[in-house]
Structure 1
Amino acid sequence: MKNISRLRYFIYLSLIIIGGCTTGKNALQKGDYDSSVEKSVSRLQNSPKNSEAMQVLKTAYDLALKDHLRKIDEAKMSNDLFRWESVMYDYQKINQLADNINSCPACLAIVPNPTRYISELAESKYNAAAARYGSGLGYLRENNRLSAKKAYYEFEKVLNLQPDYKDAKTRMDDAYWAAVTRVVVQPIIVNSGMYKLSADYFQQQIDQFIGNYSRNKFVLFYGEEQATKQKIVPDQVLSLNFDDFIVGQTYVKERVEKLKRDSVVIGETRDKKPVYGKVKATLSIFEKNISSSGLLDMSITDWKTRKLVRQQKFPGTFIWRDSWASFNGDDRALSKEQLAITRRKEQLPPPPSALFLEFTKPIYKQLVDDIGYFYNNY
């Protein structure tokens, strides 16, 4: 019986706590008037005769309205250039409270005419757009790239507030092109017909990367041919050149092992009994490494001043490996693994063009990572 009584007590207590939350009473006590209104409205939509929610709604709405109007008056008297955005925000919150109450018939019995500020909200939006527009013009007058970026975002905010405000769209476009850095990427030149196809493929990978680059809208990449056709005057030129590369540097290493094994059947007696003895062999293991490597230089130069903006070097190496073996003597001296490798034949290495392509793969990854790192927040 005691356990049943305790269970009932906890259930009752839980219902009180839950009821306080769903009616908005707790939020009201904490001074979160908007949340309190929202919760009490939700409660009355589901339970129109809930007396606690009725009382909470009446008190919370009055306090919420007074709080927002106080904040509006304070914002209007401040010297903050963007004070109208604060005013707009509070008018929006007041109107949202009214919308919530109007969607609940039981709530309208408690708050018959919730206040809405339509013209005041429109005026505050217009004034907020005007302030952002003036700020954008100020940044544009500074006539530098970083200020142009700031101007772009100011005009973007203007259009979000007032889509048809003056010439904000044109101004935003002007700011964008003043903020953009145009980068022309010069092609890699490899003076060797043997590696031309591989170098072209490497170049295609780079062209694909710059063609798909979109992390920073204020950086535009152009291939040299594209820039020439479109008559683009670059802000920067990105040059790529191999300082040096070596393809097919071959190293062959031979390792000789003397092998022997005891207790191996080497024959049999006349009465067919096995004869045990030692067997020996000489195993020659050959290891061939063909190394290909290169060093790519990336330099970014300011087109107007011809000053070096950034320079990095990216190394890449690829090693092709092969191994095989031969032996002299008794094959029973060899383990299964050793015997298996003696059955392998020396393999033909990949052609030089393929080796060239392989050592450029780690270079490509370093290159695009560095370009992204430099330009993503440029």
Structure 2
Amino acid sequence: MNNKPNCRWWLLAPFVFVLSCKSGEKLYNKGRYDEAVVAFVKKLRKSPTNQTALTLLPQAYAQAVQLHEKNATAALSSTGHLKFEAALTEYQVLQNLYNNIQACPACQTVVSPKDYRNAINASKDTAAATRYDRGMALLRNGDKFGARKAYSNFQAALSLVPDYRNAREMMDQAYQMGMAVMMVRDVALVSQYDQRALEPNAAAYRDVVLNNLRSKNNNSFVQILPESEVVKNKLHADYIVDIRVQDFVVSKPNIQKNFRELVKTVEIVEPADTTKRPRQVEKIRKETYNGVLYFTTVSVVTGGNIVCYLIDGANDDDMEKIVLPADAGWSNSFTYFKGDERVLSPEDRKLIGGQDLPSPSVGELFQAAVSRSYGEITNIVTKHYASF
């Protein structure tokens, strides 16, 4: 095995160590005191007698404490709602430095770090109380968007102090107050066909729309439900998606037939018979082959309109309306041959194939017709999500 690459790294190691030793000093000189403290601690864990680190660590730590305590004091002196959280952030940085130094015996010979746990706990308690009180005030406004802000404040209170008072219960209450229900109605059908026969296809249409809208939902306060669930749970629909398929028709099969006659004449040379006397010469005779290619194409098309409304449930006003065609088509082609296959060219042989398939059912054509509307309905509804 060739060890030369390892030897080269061994030769470079002292230079890497020297660069590492200087990184803390560079951070200190740039005024990045927090990072400098961490770098010096790391250095002293590996080399407890490093003089640069032992000299500069106390200075870097003192500067860091001065900076963050100044920021914490300024935050607490402000009138901002989140001032206790701002102070908490500063204390947490200082506590991180405390933990780093405490884990390094060499560091403690030159620095006696300050423990900020009491300041952190006090800040958390006060910040949680501030968030809780703000949430309660927002809930008292009684409006949906205020309730959503209240939810965020109760959630923040719990992140600061788990199980703070009854913040979890109030957060659930705020969610219920801030929730908006968007109901997707069962698809209405206006068609010459038996509506009962098309109901399973209409239900599948509704479910696809429902799932598409749910997959695009980026508002956690919006619940998208089918009409049956809204009715069952006696909920109020804040927004309604109403889809109607109107005048849906399916054409009769359009059968187009054609044929092409094929004729091919070839010359056949019969060689001379040299065994007979007098000697015979070769003969040429002609043969003609016949056949017919039969072409059949069957097609079916649909017609009608899909009308989609997005309705504001509070006042029954239309927020959006789109009209889309319920168009779809199906076709099937097949070709067969009758006659002497010797008449067929290679290109003709490629045309032969396919089979006589039955036309799709009305339900299958319905699904094909409405499938083109999925994306447009989803797009027109989802653009309102942010304001729901």
TM-score band by shorter chain is 0.7 to 0.9
Q: In structure 2, do the counterparts of structure 1 residues 321 and 8 end up closer, same or farther at CA, with 3 Å as the change threshold? A: same
Q: In structure 2, do the counterparts of structure 1 residues 14 and 170 end up closer, same or farther at CA, with 3 Å as the change threshold? A: closer
Q: Distance in 2 between matches of 1:326 and 1:266?
A: 27
Shift of 1:311: 2.5
Partner residue, 2:6: none
Partner residue, 1:101: 101
Is 1:355 aligned with 2:355? no
Shift of 1:254: 5.2
Partner residue, 2:90: 90
Task: Give the conservation status (yes or no) of the 8 Å contact 2:253–2:359.
Answer: no
Amino acid across the alignment from 2:81: L
Task: Give the conservation status (yes or no) of the 8 Å contact 2:217–2:382.
Answer: no
Q: In structure 2, do the counterparts of structure 1 residues 136 and 319 end up closer, same or farther at CA, with 3 Å as the change threshold? A: same
Per-residue Cα deviation, 1:232-266 (whole angstroms, up to 9, x for no partner) = 122223222113433355444556667777xx634
The DSSP-based 3-state class of the residue aligned with 2:372 is: helix
Partner residue, 1:339: 349
Q: In structure 2, do the counterparts of structure 1 residues 246 and 268 end up closer, same or farther at CA, with 3 Å as the change threshold? A: farther
Task: Give the conservation status (yes or no) of the 8 Å contact 1:180–1:220.
Answer: yes
Q: In structure 2, do the counterparts of structure 1 residues 227 and 343 end up closer, same or farther at CA, with 3 Å as the change threshold? A: closer
Partner residue, 1:233: 236
Q: In structure 2, do the counterparts of structure 1 residues 116 and 280 end up closer, same or farther at CA, with 3 Å as the change threshold? A: same
Task: Give the conservation status (yes or no) of the 8 Å contact 1:186–1:239.
Answer: yes
Task: Give the conservation status (yes or no) of the 8 Å contact 2:217–2:385.
Answer: no
Partner residue, 1:18: 20
Q: In structure 2, do the counterparts of structure 1 residues 9 and 225 end up closer, same or farther at CA, with 3 Å as the change threshold? A: closer
Amino acid across the alignment from 1:188: V
Partner residue, 1:163: 162
Q: What is the aligned counterpart of 2:305 among 271, 275, 295?
A: 295
Gaps of 5+ in 1: 1-6
Task: Give the conservation status (yes or no) of the 8 Å contact 1:331–1:339.
Answer: no
Q: Distance in 2 between matches of 1:15 and 1:159?
A: 45
The DSSP-based 3-state class of the residue aligned with 2:223 is: strand
Which of these two proteins has the greater Rg computed from alpha carbons? 2
Partner residue, 1:119: 118
Is 1:50 aligned with 2:60? no
The DSSP-based 3-state class of the residue aligned with 1:59 is: helix
Is 1:312 aligned with 2:322? yes
Per-residue Cα deviation, 1:120-166 (whole angstroms, up to 9, x for no partner) = 22222222223323433443344332222222112211221233444
Shift of 1:226: 2.2
Shift of 1:285: 3.5
Amino acid across the alignment from 1:136: G
Shift of 1:98: 0.6
Gaps of 5+ in 2: 1-8, 273-281
Superposition RMSD on alpha carbons, in Å? 3.4
User: How do residues 75-86 of structure 1 correspond to structure 2 at under 5 angstroms?
Assistant: 75-86=75-86
Partner residue, 2:269: 268
Q: Distance in 2 between matches of 1:273 and 1:82?
A: 111
Q: Distance in 2 between matches of 1:126 and 1:61?
A: 27
The DSSP-based 3-state class of the residue aligned with 1:245 is: strand
After alignment, is 29-38 or 355-364 more displaced? 355-364
Q: Distance in 1 between matches of 2:382 and 2:284?
A: 74
Shift of 1:35: 1.0
Q: Distance in 1 between matches of 2:216 and 2:231?
A: 20
Q: Distance in 1 between matches of 2:353 and 2:229?
A: 55
Task: Give the conservation status (yes or no) of the 8 Å contact 1:185–1:224.
Answer: yes
Partner residue, 1:3: none
Q: Report the TM-score when normalising by structure 2.
A: 0.80
Q: Distance in 2 between matches of 1:201 and 1:79?
A: 56
Q: In structure 2, do the counterparts of structure 1 residues 317 and 36 end up closer, same or farther at CA, with 3 Å as the change threshold? A: farther
Q: Distance in 2 between matches of 1:377 and 1:34?
A: 43
Partner residue, 1:196: 199
Q: In structure 2, do the counterparts of structure 1 residues 75 and 275 end up closer, same or farther at CA, with 3 Å as the change threshold? A: farther
Task: Give the conservation status (yes or no) of the 8 Å contact 1:268–1:274.
Answer: yes
